[in-house]
Chain A
Amino acid sequence: MKESKILLFGFSRSAIEIGARLQAQGFEFTCIDNDASLMPRAKKLGFDLRITDYSDDEILIGLGIGEDVKFVFTLFEEDVHNVFLTLSIRSLDPKVQIVSTTHTKDAIHKLEIAGASTVLDPYQICGKRIYKLITQPEIMQVIDATIFGEEDINMEQITITSHSPLNGLLLNECYPTERYNMLLIGLHDKELKKEFVFITEGHNHKLDHGDILVVIGKSAEIERFKMDFSL
Chain B
Amino acid sequence: MGYITSLFVRFAYFLDASSSYHRAKEFCRTLLEHQHSRLKFYFDIFMVILVVISVFFLLYEVKNPDGHPHLDTFVQFSLIIFVIEYLLRFWIHSDSHKIFLDRYEYAINNNLPFSLMRALLAIVKKKVEYVISPLAIIDLLAILPSYRPLRFLRIFLLFRIFKLFRYARSMKTFTAIITEKKFELFTLAIFASFVIFTGSSAIYIFETNQNPKINTLFDAVYWAIVTMGTVGYGDIVPVTTEGMVVSMILIILGVSTLAFLTSIIVSSFQNKLIELKESRLFAEVDKLEDYIVICGYGRVGEVVAKMLHEDGYKLVIIDNDAEKIKLAQQRGLIGIVADASKSRILGEIGVGKRASQIICATNSDELNVFITLTARSLSKQIIIIARVIKNTHKKKYFLAGANYAFSADETIGLMGAQYISQPISYAALDEMLTENTGVIFDIVTIHEHSCFVNQTVEALGLKEKRLILFGVLCKDNLLPFQFNPTPDFELQSHDMLIIMGRKHHINVLRKLNDKGSAR
Are B385 and A122 closer than 8 Å at their CB atoms? no
Residue contact B385 to A123, C-beta cutoff 8 Å: no
Q: Check if B434 sits within 8 Å of A155, measured CB to CB.
A: no
Q: Which residues of B contact A104 (CB under 8 A)?
A: 299
* Residue A165 interfacial (CB < 8 Å): no
Q: Known contacts A134-B313, A181-B484; decide if A127 and B304 are in contact (CB<8 Å).
A: yes
Name the B residues within 8 Å of A20 (CB-CB): 413
Question: Mask for A133-172, Cβ within 8 A of B = 1, else 0?
Answer: 1111111101111111000010111000000000000000
Q: How far is the CB of B488 from chain A (nearest CB, A)?
A: 13
Interface residues on A, range: 35 or more
Task: Look across to chain B and name the residue whose beta carbon is closest to the beta carbon of A146.
Answer: B483
A123 and B408 in contact, given A17-B391, A142-B481 (Cβ under 8 angstroms): yes
Tell whether B443 is near chain A: CB-to-CB under 8 Å: yes
Q: Say if the beta carbon of A126 comes within 8 Å of chain B.
A: yes
Chain B contacts for A133, CB-based, 8 A: 385, 404
Whether A183 lies near B468 (C-beta < 8 A) is: yes
Which of B307, B414, B427 lies in contact with A21, CB distance below 8 A? B414
Q: Are A142 and B411 in contact (CB under 8 A)?
A: no
**Neighbouring A residues of B431 by C-beta, 8 Å:** 196, 198
**Most A CB atoms within 10 A — which of B301, B304, B428, B471?**
B428
Q: Are B429 and A71 in contact (CB under 8 A)?
A: no
Contact A14 B413 (CB under 8 A): yes
Q: Mask for B468-497, Cβ within 8 A of A = 1, else 0?
A: 101101000000010110000000000010
Least CB distance from A144 to B in Å reads 8
A25 within 8 A of B: yes
A128 on interface, CB distance cutoff 8 Å: yes
User: Is B385 within 8 A of A157, CB to CB?
Assistant: no
Q: In the complex, which residue of chain A has the Cβ closest to the Cβ of B485?
A: A181
Q: In the bound complex, what is the Cα–Cα distance between A16 and B390 (angstroms)? A: 11
Q: What is the bound-complex CA distance between A139 and B429, given in angstroms?
A: 14
Residues of B within 8 A of A217 (CB): 483-484
Which residues on the A side are within 8 Å of B416 (C-beta)?
14, 17-18, 21-22, 73, 99, 120
Question: Is B385's CB under 8 angstroms from A13's CB?
Answer: no
Alpha-carbon gap, A6 to B420, bound state (A):
9
Chain B residues within 8 Å of A145, by CB: 481
- B361 beta carbon closer than 8 Å to chain A: yes
Tell me which residues from 480 to 518 in chain B have a Cβ below 8 Å from any Cβ of chain A: 481, 483-484, 496, 498, 500-502, 505
Contact in complex: B307, A183 (CB < 8 Å): no
Q: Given A22-B417, A128-B434, A142-B471, is A195 in contact with B442 using a C-beta cutoff of 8 Å?
A: no
Mark the stretch among A48-56, A199-207, A223-231 that contacts chain B.
A199-207
In the bound complex, do residue A183 and residue B470 qualify as a contact, i.e. CB atoms below 8 Å apart? yes
Q: Which of B430-489 contact A (CB under 8 A)?
A: 430-434, 437, 439, 441-443, 466-468, 470-471, 473, 481, 483-484
- Supposing A155-B428, A200-B439 touch, asked if A134 and B481 sit within 8 A by C-beta, the answer is no
Closest 3 interchain pairs by CB? A17-B413, A127-B303, A21-B417
Given contacts A122-B412, A146-B483, A195-B427, 14 further A-B contacts (CB under 8 A): A14-B408, A17-B391, A17-B416, A18-B413, A128-B303, A131-B303, A136-B443, A138-B496, A153-B483, A155-B429, A157-B424, A183-B468, A183-B470, A185-B500
Q: Could you list some 27 contacts between A and B, CB below 8 A?
A: A13-B389, A14-B412, A14-B416, A17-B414, A17-B416, A71-B420, A120-B412, A122-B409, A123-B299, A123-B408, A125-B415, A126-B303, A126-B387, A130-B361, A134-B308, A142-B470, A148-B410, A153-B483, A183-B470, A196-B424, A196-B428, A198-B428, A198-B431, A200-B466, A201-B439, A214-B425, A216-B484
